[in-house]
Structure 1
């Protein structure tokens, strides 16, 4: 079952953008003389957020009358407070971090899909990696070990716990630690952790360095899994619904463009990550949906409840747009 992402389109005349990068923005006024509305979006500089950068490059946000600035952080949990405080109008976060915020009563609203699993359990954009000579061959072998994710109590450790227990392991015996995605492969190689959950382009970079994948964690949890979303504060949604609608329209264009243009996705990733060209050519790209899969997000909420990440599973009728 899918929940449609409904938007209202608000068009504005455009002047095409020629370049983009993290921390940059579109500064040209709208062609009809109206000033662009400034919006700042906090993201993680990973393959998942490529559509936002593409939308800036292609002028989709300017078409909707928005002057976009992109700021980066290491994880969704760090972006949430910036959106709540009003420093950012929008943010990118994995869905578990948003569920935790919802559970704590933080005034946040999901406004757009962002990224989803490819559905391929043998080749996805998120994976658990180990050293090439590690004795670990499956998630069930990690009992008593140390595993890293980019932040704690988010989608990474939640889906891993679920899959480990389903395969006969004991997730309660594992120590989860926080290491940013760019540093995770080195942590595996030097023995700081036994395994690490990483996403592209760091999955392919790890494989190129001789490390191994023991699980494509998102797809192993649910082949239809929505991984992350864009969100705003309830105050922003209430105060400026027109601006939110414009952002949603621009994101829909950006997601559709990214899904249809994988070469453009690879090229734009090179502008905000230090990824060698030969690695970019091999990375597995995620899906960029414009609708949420309600069943998969519900299963994710149930897992968050089971592992004590939230006290109450979110009501999808209000949690998703």
Structure 2
């Protein structure tokens, strides 16, 4: 299955954490590779995804009816505590989730029954197209990443892609990563933490980045995905082994909806730009503080 990636070429900063709740509607129509649902009765599904704006293709696809045509009704909610997502999937509280490849890979040693079902997004190629950035406030006096030695930096979570990105950017700028204090602060709270002086800089991703720039005097220092690799494969969608075994039809429908949503976003960049502000607003309202 071909999945094109949303952010490439959009010139948008996109990324972060979100919840998706879904119901599979057996009576809905589907296209080419999908099969008609059984007897028309609704199968209840719950899904969530760690999302920042890279995952905007899913709420956009929901809004455009691209999941419903495959028989899935999807309600999108946003969370910022990404580490709560795998346990929720395993507990059968949600069905599908999106997480960074690095974070998902860190679960491999635990032999958890989680299975990837499709790619999420790729990173940008420069500061303008990277949705994850190292930021500070204008009043901090920090002009560049090289000025962060001995400072305190917020990341969304520790032992994750968020921390890896930050450490790589510091090293690339000639700063010893061990000379800084890295503290976990949810994306939704990072703007306030910067404004109050709780931290000197933050690893921040969209849509929280756009909102923070509007609400606080924040400036960008570095493109963090690009710091690792331009066009970095950043995320993957996954579910539980139990879901794949018990509801293969629902899993396939989700994959088709994800494919269509990604391709739609790629071919309609203007619609993505128009949709992003409302997604950012819903994110800020739904994220726990």
Return the offset for 1:226.
1.7
Secondary structure of 2:47's counterpart equals strand
Deviation at 1:224, TM superposition (A): 1.5
Offset of 1:5 from its aligned partner? Answer: 5.2
Q: Does residue 120 of structure 2 align to residue 114 of structure 1?
A: yes
Q: 1:164 aligns with which of 138, 163, 170?
A: 170
2:78 matched to which residue of 1? 72
Structure 2 counterparts to residues 186-201 of structure 1, below 5 A: 186-201=192-207
- CA change 1:111–1:158 in 2 (3 A) is same
Q: How far does the alpha carbon of each residue in 1:87-145 deviate from its partner, in whole angstroms, 9 at most, with x for none?
A: 11111212222111122222211211112212124542111111103232333322222
- Given that 1:89 and 1:236 are in contact with CA atoms closer than 8 Å, whether structure 2 keeps it comes out as yes
Aligned residue in 1 for 2:183: 177
CA–CA distance in structure 2, aligned partners of residues 158 and 55 of structure 1: 30
| Cα distance in structure 2, aligned partners of 1:121 and 1:267 | 21
Alpha-carbon separation, structure 2, partners of 1:41 and 1:71: 10
TM-score (norm 2): 0.79
- Return the alpha-carbon distance in structure 2 between the equivalents of residues 268 and 260 of structure 1: 14
Q: 1:23 to 1:81 in 2, by over 3 A?
A: closer
Q: Residue 141 of structure 2: SS of its match in structure 1?
A: coil
State the distance in 1 between where 2:19 and 2:113 align. 26
Q: CA deviation at 1:56?
A: 1.5
1:252 pairs with one of 250, 256, 259: 259
Deviation larger for 120-129 or 51-60: 120-129
Residue pair 2:168, 2:227 contacting (<8 A) in 1 also = no
Asked if structure 1 preserves the Cα contact closer than 8 Å seen for 2:20 and 2:49, the reply is: no
Distance 1:153 1:46, change over 3 A: same
Q: Distance in 1 between matches of 2:213 and 2:158?
A: 24
Q: 2 CA distance for matches of 1:201 and 1:112?
A: 22
The answer for the alignment partner of 1:30 in structure 2 is 28
Deviates more, 1:161-170 or 1:197-206: 197-206
Question: C-alpha separation between the residues in 2 aligned to 1:229 and 1:23?
Answer: 15
The 3 A distance-change label for structure 1 pair 123 and 271 is closer
Give aligned pairs, total.
258
RMSD: 2.6
Query: Shift of residue 49 of structure 1?
Result: 2.2
Q: Displacement of 1:36 after TM fit? A: 4.3
Of residues 83, 88, 96, the one that matches 1:82 is 88
- Is 1:5–1:112's contact at 8 Å kept on the other side of the alignment? no
Gap runs ≥5 in structure 2: 4-17, 30-35, 283-289
CA distance in 1 between counterparts of 2:224 and 2:96 reads 27
What is the distance in 2 between the residues matched to 1:219 and 1:50?
A: 20
TM-score (norm 1): 0.72
**Residues 217 and 179 of structure 1: is their aligned pair in 2 closer, same or farther, counting only changes over 3 Å?**
same
Taking the aligned partners of 2:196 and 2:176, their CA distance within structure 1 comes to 25
Match of 2:103 in 1: 97
Flag the 1:231–1:190 CA change in 2: closer, same or farther, 3 A: same
